[in-house]
Amino acid sequence: MKTIPLPDGECVPVLGQGTWRMGENTRAHKDEVAALRLGIELGMTLIDTAEMYGEGGAEEVAADAIEGQRDRVFVVTKVYPHNASRTELPKACERSLKRLRIDAIDLYLLHWRETNTRLEETVEAFEKLVMGAVCSRTRRSGRSPNVMTEPRRKSRSRGCCVSRE
């Protein structure tokens, strides 16, 4: 599988597996886990999920799929914008860690940006998670440059990046 380097030098597969719509139907759980496991076997070791997918159910599906092979998988999950404050972000992260049954998230994303919480506050909260080693990297997901007017320099951490991408 072809890989691409992240800013910190770690290489991740260019093709990963998304989990949107997974975890919504308990009858599909076994098949969803099997699909993710097959993808891992085929080299798609990046798993992208989010707390909003199945209201956490997709993270639970991902947890079952990566069980026993965490060291092979790069886990990406995303936080709801309404959980992006200094008080709510750590709680949301802990819930995701618990559902994923892992000690650290490889890449933790802000799913999209809302203006209810100042960007500086969100970046500060993400930086604390990186410093506390519960996530390795953080970034904003989605493509809406019109709401990302603050410059990239808001973050002082190598593991936290504010981007328009």
Q: Which residues contact 106 (CB under 8 A, 6 or more apart)?
A: 74, 75, 76, 135, 136, 137
Rounded to an integer, what distance in angstroms lies between the CA atom of residue 107 and that of residue 14?
15
Catalytic residue among 53, 74, 108, 126: 53
| 53 noted as active-site residue | yes
DSSP 10-21: -EEESS-EE-TT
Identity at 116, one-letter amino acid code: N
Which active-site residues does the annotation give?
53
